[in-house]
Amino acid sequence: MIPITSVHFGKAEEDLVLEVLRSGSIAQGPMVKRLEDTFAEKFGLKHAIAVNNGTTALVAALEVLDLKPGDEVITSPFTFVATLNAIIESGATATFADIREDDFNLDPESVATLIGPNTKVILPVHLYGQMADMDPLVALAGQYGLRILEDSAQSHGASYARTHAGGFGLGTFSFYATKNITTGEGGLITTDDDVLADRLRVLRNQGMRERYVYEIAGHNYRLTDLQAALAIPQLENYDEVVERRRVNAAKLNVGLKDLPGIVVPVEMPGRTHVWHQFTIRVTEDAAVGRDQFVASLLKRGIGAGVYYPHLLFDYDAYRDHPLVKVTGTPVAARVATQVVSLPVHTALSDGDIDEIIAVVAAVAMGN
Ligand SMILES: *Cc1c(COP(=O)(O)O)cnc(C)c1O
């Protein structure tokens, strides 16, 4: 079986984790600070605040935007459930714009049609490793006085017109086990706003500025030094990881692009894709439907995944939820029936890639 993800740690990670173990202080401390500084500097971001996962990163980022009941956050319906859970936890109402089928991300024209008097935040999700079309979203935010919060959980180091993910005011990242950089569980918030950064630091630590001086009602959203020590070497080696993923994606693209019923993913002009996922669309021109397509790949030893099989509001838990406003998003609805993600990770050999291409071709043509 060629797995859909593969996690590998080297000597540098072992050494730094051991250093923390031997230091005897494993909670949030100097390693977390070093991770924050390294992350901010590497991606040209002003402030980085590490937290315990990508969901709490979103919750904290929404909390410092001071949303009131009735305020609306416009996001994508085609994302991991954490995006929506965080909006609900903030007490605001989630509403959904459609996506584009070429980059799987928010369609700014659809966002524009949803903006009303209650809209406060546009929350693009940079899906699969590629950023949303930020210029028109930033223009809309400027025109209507909205905040932008980028869910960059899948897009560490991706860029749009040379600005990295998380660089458009406020952004969040995840270091979950399957993400491009991982600490098992972990997250991080970026912002260019000194006041928000300060509040986020206080918020993650029980609202405490100094010992037993509570400034606001806070949380325990801290990351540990053990986890930070795992992430720092990955960050230092990240350019190589992305390059490997880019080379793998390019080979898959060449091998799959002319197959009937297969639409390969594209890197949009002006953007850098970090290939968290390599996601094709299986159209009606393929010999079999998407679900059978995936079943056949798995049966023949190719790890394949469907991210995501349903739109977020298309679950009983959310359909009638008072904080969820269901909208018509026809492109997202169609795309959710078509997507299949294939292995693109750094552990793939050339032989693995040839095998993936051969099996996908056979399945697409009904062989
Ligand atoms: C992984 C992910 C999250 C949540 O991150 P966790 O660290 O798992 O809490 C949020 N949004 C998206 C798009 C994700 O892929």
138, two tokens: 């930033």
pLDDT given at position 130: 98
Measured in angstroms, how far is the CA atom of residue 354 from the centroid of ligand 1? 31
Query: Is 277's C-beta closer than 6 angstroms to any atom of ligand 1?
Result: no
Partners of residue 151 on adjacent β-strands: 125, 172
Query: Is 173's C-beta closer than 6 angstroms to any atom of ligand 1?
Result: no
Amino acid at position 196, single letter: L
Reduced to 3 states, what is the DSSP secondary structure of residue 334? helix
Nearest ligand 1 atom, CA 127? 13
pLDDT given at position 255: 98
Nearest CA to ligand 1 atom 5: 54
Measured in angstroms, how far is the CA atom of residue 8 from the centroid of ligand 1? 20
pLDDT given at position 71: 98
**Ligand 1 pocket test: which of 176, 189, 312 has the largest number of ligand atoms within 8 Å of its C-beta?**
176
pLDDT given at position 304: 97
**DSSP state for residue 348 in the 8-state scheme:** -
**Contact between residue 212 and residue 205 where contact means Cβ atoms under 8 Å apart:** no
pLDDT given at position 172: 98
**Contact between residue 195 and residue 65 where contact means Cβ atoms under 8 Å apart:** no
Measured in angstroms, how far is the CA atom of residue 258 from the centroid of ligand 1? 33
Query: Is 82's C-beta closer than 6 angstroms to any atom of ligand 1?
Result: yes
**DSSP state for residue 130 in the 8-state scheme:** -
Measured in angstroms, how far is the CA atom of residue 360 from the centroid of ligand 1? 28
**Contact between residue 217 and residue 136 where contact means Cβ atoms under 8 Å apart:** no
pLDDT given at position 321: 97
**Ligand 1 pocket test: which of 125, 154, 277 has the largest number of ligand atoms within 8 Å of its C-beta?**
154
pLDDT given at position 337: 98
Measured in angstroms, how far is the CA atom of residue 317 from the centroid of ligand 1? 19
Q: Alpha-carbon distance 241 to 197, whole Å?
A: 29
367 residues of the chain, pLDDT tens digit each: 999 999 999 999 999 999 999 999 999 999 999 999 999 999 999 999 999 999 999 999 999 999 999 999 999 999 999 999 999 999 999 999 999 999 999 999 999 999 999 999 999 999 999 999 999 999 999 999 999 999 999 999 999 999 999 999 999 999 999 999 999 999 999 999 999 999 999 999 999 999 999 999 999 999 999 999 999 999 999 999 999 999 999 999 999 999 999 999 999 999 999 999 999 999 999 999 999 999 999 999 999 999 999 999 999 999 999 999 999 999 999 999 999 999 999 999 999 999 999 999 999 999 8
Measured in angstroms, how far is the CA atom of residue 277 from the centroid of ligand 1? 14
pLDDT given at position 247: 98
Query: Is 305's C-beta closer than 6 angstroms to any atom of ligand 1?
Result: no
The dihedrals phi and psi of 271, each to the nearest 5 degrees, come to: -115, 150
